[in-house]
């Protein structure tokens, strides 16, 4: 059920991504007018938003898209000042850790400097919109403690983590020094059927669906000895919204608190497709190894639970089966 329009408006950077699409759906359901900032690029397909942009009751009335790049302060400024939203959700940035080793400069330009530019701009607004930056567990890299909480020292081990650490800390500085309503959602890995196939979870579930259908024989992966705290993206955008509704701006760890080996993810995904032994279907390809891996990234979301009443609603088994099922039906439809 969608609420009637209310007077609230939000800007979302990174609206075409996995989180952007879930957050947009949620805000529209809550009666918001949503403005998405999108990058000019030669790729115009926005499959994660199609169900909204093709709906005439939504697109152009409750949802608007605007072109601007995070490295172009004048165009961002023009849009944000014109809309003067109540809330800004900053989700954009180069989001792939592996790629950040190949393109460290642009990763920092978008993720670190892009955040600073937005904050600088909000400082000049009266009243300043509330601001939420999506941080990452990668800021902790090799943490002193596990699980991590909002006070754990940052110790990133890759360019992506460094850029996110800059963004998280800068957000804190603008809150503490300028009194802006700025929050960080320090989000651990969050997945869904909308996750890009360059991330290991979706790469696996997509391959499993195709292997089960006899369309391919194996999947090539990198380091299988890794572990992650994986949650469902639809749950994580709820935490982002709740953080913005709390009376005080704060940082929140958004995580499930469960550390899962990648091999366990493989096991569940293949088993759900009726394949008991995944090993013959996985080949190791050194191309997918990274120069460094983080360790023991598992979050303690107690503050989000206590202050926001937030908790994950989807466990790992449900997440993996949701993704495999979605890939199976997509693979059937597209016959690719
Ligand atoms: P990240 O946690 O944001 O880096 O998310 P990814 O899904 O990209 O990677 C999660 C972990 O899976 C990392 O430790 C990777 O090294 C590992 N991994 C193993 N094989 C692959 C692969 O083929 N692709 C990706 N993306 N990651 C892989």
Q: Give residue-wise pLDDT tens across range 81-137.
A: 999 999 999 999 888 999 999 999 999 999 999 999 999 999 999 999 999 999 999
Half-sphere exposure for 70 (CA within 13 Å, toward CB)? 23
Whether the predicted pLDDT of 147 surpasses 80 = yes
Residue 293's CB is within 10 A of a number of other CB atoms, namely: 17
Which residue among 22, 32, 89, 160 is the active-site one?
Answer: 160
C-alpha–C-alpha distance, residues 115 and 93, integer Å = 9
Distances in whole angstroms, Cα of residue 140 to Cα of each of 102, 145, 161, 186: 21, 10, 8, 10
Cβ pair 76, 11 in contact under 8 A:
no
Q: What's the CA-to-centroid distance between 56 and ligand 1, angstroms?
A: 38
- CB 200 near ligand 1, within 6 Å: yes
pLDDT at 82: 95
Closest to 192 in 3D by CA, of 179, 180, 201:
201
pLDDT tens, position by position, 244-299: 999 999 999 999 999 999 999 999 999 999 999 999 999 999 999 999 999 999 99
Name which residue sits closest to atom 3 of ligand 1, judged by CA. 97
Which range (55-59, 231-235, 256-260, 331-335) has the least confidence? 331-335
Backbone angles phi, psi at 250, to 5 degrees: -150, 175
Angle of helix 73-83 relative to helix 114-123, nearest 10 degrees?
40
- Answer yes or no: are the C-beta atoms of 260 and 229 closer than 8 Å: yes
Closest CA relative to residue 15, chosen from 45, 47, 38: 38
What the chain holds in terms of domains, given with CATH numbers, is 9-191+230-254 (3.40.50.720), 200-227+259-298+314-335 (3.90.25.10)
pLDDT digits (tens, 9 = 90+) for 11-39: 999 999 999 999 999 999 999 999 999 98
The Å distance, Cα 167 to ligand 1 centre, comes to: 22
Determine the pLDDT at residue 43. 67
Distance 182 CA to ligand 1 centre (A): 30
Q: Which burial class, exposed, middle or buried, applies to 42 when counting CB atoms under 10 A from its CB (0-12, 13-18, 19+)?
A: exposed
Q: What is the CA 104 to chain-centroid distance, rounded?
A: 19
Give the residue from 159, 183, 120, 132 showing the smallest Cα distance to 294: 159
- In angstroms, rounded to a whole number, what is the distance separating the alpha carbons of residues 74 and 86? 20
pLDDT-derived band at 333 (thresholds 50, 70, 90) equals: confident
Banded model confidence at residue 71, pLDDT cuts 50, 70, 90: confident
């Amino acid at each position: 059920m969608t609420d009637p329009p209310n007077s609230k408006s939000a800007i979302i950077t990174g609206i075409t991504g996995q989180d952007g699409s879930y957050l947009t759906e949620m805000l529209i359901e809550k009666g918001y007018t949503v403005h998405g900032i999108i990058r000019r690029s030669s790729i115009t397909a926005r499959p994660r938003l199609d169900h909204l942009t093709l709906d005439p009751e939504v697109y152009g009335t409750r949802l608007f898209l605007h072109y601007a790049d995070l490295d172009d302060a004048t165009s961002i400024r023009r849009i944000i000042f014109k809309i003067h939203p109540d809330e800004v959700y900053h989700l954009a940035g180069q989001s792939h850790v592996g790629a950040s080793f190949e393109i460290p400069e642009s990763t920092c330009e978008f993720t670190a400097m892009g955040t600073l530019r937005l904050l600088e701009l909000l400082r000049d607004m009266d009243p300043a919109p509330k601001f939420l930056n999506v941080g990452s567990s990668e800021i902790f890299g090799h943490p002193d403690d596990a699980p991590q909480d909002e006070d754990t020292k940052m110790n990133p081990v890759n360019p992506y983590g460094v850029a996110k650490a800059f963004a998280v800390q800068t957000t804190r500085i603008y809150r503490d020094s300028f009194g802006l309503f700025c929050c960080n959602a320090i989000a651990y890995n969050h997945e869904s059927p909308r996750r890009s196939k360059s991330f290991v979870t979706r790469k696996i579930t997509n391959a499993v669906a195709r292997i089960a259908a006899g369309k391919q024989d194996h999947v090539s992966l990198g380091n299988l000895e890794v572990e992650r705290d994986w949650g469902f993206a639809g749950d994580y955008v709820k935490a982002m919204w709740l953080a913005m509704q709390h009376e005080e701006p704060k940082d929140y760890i958004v995580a499930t608190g469960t550390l899962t080996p990648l091999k366990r993810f493989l096991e569940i995904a293949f088993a759900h497709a009726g394949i008991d032994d995944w090993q013959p279907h996985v080949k190791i390809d050194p191309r997918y190894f990274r120069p460094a891996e983080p360790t023991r990234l598992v979050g303690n979301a107690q503050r989000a639970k206590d202050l926001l009443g937030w908790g994950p609603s989807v466990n790992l088994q449900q997440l993996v089966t949701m993704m495999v099922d979605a890939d199976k039906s997509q693979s059937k439809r597209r016959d690719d």
